Amino acid sequence: MSKISCIILLILTTVLISNAQAYPIIITDDFGYEVTIEKLPERIVSLSPCNTEILFAVGAGDRVVGGTTYDAYPPEAVNLPKIGGFSTINIEAVVNITPDLILAEDTNGEDTINTLRNLGFTVITFNPETMDDILDNIRLVGNITGNEGAAGSVTEGMTQQIQTITSQTEDMSPDQRTRVLYLVWHDSLYAAGSDTYPSDLIWMAGGKNILEGEGWPIISIEEVINKNPQVIICSGMGGGSYTIMEAINSNPILSKTDAVKNQKVYAIADSQTIEVAGPRIVQGLAELHSYIGPEAVAESGSPNNPSGATSTGDTVSTVDGSSNTSRAPGFSLMLTVSMLIAVYLRRMRY
């Protein structure tokens, strides 16, 4: 080997060593627990869809050895060994997988998280409440899994997409913003409260949530009429979005709202892009902006004086702006209800 080749090899080796993550790593999770990561995690269990999505996004998906029954993205996550749902974690299943790192979420419950810690597992718990928290968690997962570069690329791309939208909406006054109702079921009317991710995204997209309550409360039809949303977003699992949308459009009382009169009732095809605190949340933001941003509302008049179409026929708007008169595809009403109870009502932020 020539002298020049030796020097090049030495330089490359030095660069690789300097870029390698040094272990142990000591971090503090969202609940104030100081956690020590002794070495590069090789067997990771995720206790929530958002953590699973983050792990795959930063390039650690090949080290994920267990996930929840609600993991749906990326497609590879569907086939992971299952350890239960959000609040029904099977401790024995987790133990049998022998993970060296567990990524948990506040919705898993304090008892479950403490049990896993007491069994000697390394557990990091996330509880993101803002978009900045989501970005921070992605960077943290990249750090502890040795994928800082990939995590940086993900968050940089997300930040650019966020700024592209918020640069158009951040100076809007409350009176200029579109009045929005975000529904996750129609009987009764369960809606996103003021402290939820959908509410945050609605504001970033140029709207304002008409619901001031916290969590996912029931809103009465009378309150909906009084607050008169200009846009109604329908979001449900397994085709539930279309079921909700059709119910709203066919309700004779709700036909009095600007949203129904102007045919601005929209179904979200994939609710997880809005309600899961992972990298795809910027896709949800972009979709909401296409429905409630200044340009979208301009099609039917100004936010407080809509002058668009007043047809209340059976045709309803879909996520791509086309018409859809068919029934909700593929899933029964009972399945949709059970999924809503299991997912949406557990996503309260305290």
User: Where residue 26 sits, what CATH number does that domain have?
Assistant: 3.40.50.1980
Choosing from 121, 154, 187, the residue where a domain stops is: 154
Choosing from 154, 189, 221, the residue where a domain stops is: 154
In a domain, 12, yes or no: no
Tell me: do 42 and 108 sit in the same domain.
yes
In a domain, 327, yes or no: yes
Tokens linked to 176: 């200029």
How many domains would you assign to the chain? 2
Predicted confidence at residue 197, as pLDDT, reads 86
Contacts of 313 (CB under 8 A, 6+ apart): none
Predicted confidence at residue 267, as pLDDT, reads 96
Tell me: do 31 and 145 sit in the same domain.
yes
Predicted confidence at residue 34, as pLDDT, reads 94
Tell me: do 178 and 111 sit in the same domain.
no
- Domain ranges, residue 303: 174-346
Predicted confidence at residue 295, as pLDDT, reads 77
In a domain, 91, yes or no: yes
Predicted confidence at residue 213, as pLDDT, reads 87
Strand segments, DSSP code E, in the chain are: 25-28, 34-37, 44-46, 64-66, 101-105, 123-126, 178-186, 189-191, 207-209, 231-235, 265-268, 301-302, 305-306, 316-317, 323-324
125: helix, strand or coil: strand
In a domain, 2, yes or no: no
Distance in angstroms (rounded) separating the CA atoms of residues 164 and 157: 11
In a domain, 10, yes or no: no
Tell me: do 120 and 239 sit in the same domain.
no
Tell me: do 203 and 342 sit in the same domain.
yes
**pLDDT per residue as tens, the chain (350 positions):** 555 554 454 444 444 444 456 889 999 999 899 999 999 999 999 999 999 999 999 999 999 999 999 999 999 999 999 999 988 999 999 999 999 999 999 999 999 999 999 999 999 999 998 899 999 999 999 999 999 999 999 999 999 999 999 999 999 999 999 999 999 999 899 999 998 889 999 999 999 999 988 989 999 999 999 999 999 999 987 778 999 999 999 999 999 999 999 999 999 989 899 989 999 999 999 999 999 988 776 655 444 433 333 333 333 333 333 333 333 333 333 334 344 443 443 444 33
Question: What is the pTM for the complete model shown?
Answer: 0.78
Tell me: do 264 and 330 sit in the same domain.
yes
In a domain, 304, yes or no: yes
Predicted confidence at residue 10, as pLDDT, reads 47
Tell me: do 122 and 264 sit in the same domain.
no
Distance in angstroms (rounded) separating the CA atoms of residues 326 and 328: 7
Tell me: do 191 and 303 sit in the same domain.
yes
Tell me: do 117 and 264 sit in the same domain.
no
Tell me: do 26 and 93 sit in the same domain.
yes
In a domain, 220, yes or no: yes
How does DSSP classify residue 195? T
In a domain, 51, yes or no: yes
Choosing from 154, 186, 203, the residue where a domain stops is: 154
Tell me: do 131 and 201 sit in the same domain.
no
Inter-residue contact 73 to 49 (CB < 8 Å): yes
Tell me: do 197 and 255 sit in the same domain.
yes
